[in-house]
């Protein structure tokens, strides 16, 4: 401070830019710091923006959690649960086409069973059996202890497998022309 006999060894910023400084003695730096207002002359929105940026060190950010694409992830997982698969849903189909595989009549036991198993016709027995084993391993009560949904789903899978197995056996017994 002008007229102060003490040596100015403490630096204080001249403005918000924080690149030019005053040098004060201990008494005057304390007085200056009490009166210093970094945000003077800034609007409320500017202050809030500065606080948000400074919390992130003025660097661009990206999300690290799994909720970045929550809606897409939810749709994908719902599709996978409905079709009993871990495969990715087809990208080029319309939603009404995804609901039912082509050639499957939902109003028949076989059609419902195919939907439960996540299969589409044409179907051979080895493919049916492989899919059944895959679903049983995934939803077995020993793998999912205490999960009632998984137990109910396994019951539906067993019923669907039985229906499709019987239908396949009947188909095999049809006379060929």
pTM exceeds 0.75, yes or no:
no
Buried b (16+ CB within 10 A) or exposed e, 131-170: bbebbeebbeeeeeeeeeebeebbebbeebbebbeebbee
Which residue has better confidence, 163 or 99? Answer: 163
Mean pLDDT of the chain: 81
Q: Are 154 and 116 in contact (CB under 8 A)?
A: no
pLDDT digits (tens, 9 = 90+) for 69-102: 777 777 888 888 888 888 888 876 555 444 555 5
CB atoms within 10 A of CB 171: 11
Which residue has better confidence, 163 or 102? Answer: 163
Task: Work out the average pLDDT over 103-128.
Answer: 82
Provide CATH 1.10.287.110 ranges for the chain.
Answer: 104-177
Class of domain 104-177: mainly alpha
State the pLDDT at residue 160: 93
State the pLDDT at residue 168: 83
pLDDT digits (tens, 9 = 90+) for 141-157: 888 888 888 889 999 99
């Amino acid at each position: 401070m002008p007229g102060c006999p003490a040596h100015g060894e403490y630096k204080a910023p001249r403005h918000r830019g924080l690149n030019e400084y005053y040098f004060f003695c201990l008494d005057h730096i304390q007085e200056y710091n009490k009166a210093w207002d970094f945000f003077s002359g800034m609007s409320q929105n500017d202050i809030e923006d500065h606080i948000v940026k400074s919390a992130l060190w003025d660097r661009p950010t990206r999300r690290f959690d799994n909720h970045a694409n929550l809606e897409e992830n939810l749709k994908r997982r719902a599709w996978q649960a409905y079709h009993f698969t871990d495969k990715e849903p087809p990208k080029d189909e319309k939603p009404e086409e995804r609901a039912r595989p082509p050639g499957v009549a939902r109003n028949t036991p076989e059609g419902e069973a195919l939907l439960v198993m996540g299969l589409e016709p044409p179907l051979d027995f080895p493919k049916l059996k492989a899919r059944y084993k895959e679903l049983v391993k995934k939803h077995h009560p020993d793998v999912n202890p205490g999960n009632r949904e998984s137990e109910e789903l396994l019951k539906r899978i067993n019923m669907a497998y039985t229906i499709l197995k019987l239908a396949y056996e009947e188909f095999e017994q049809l006379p060929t022309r």
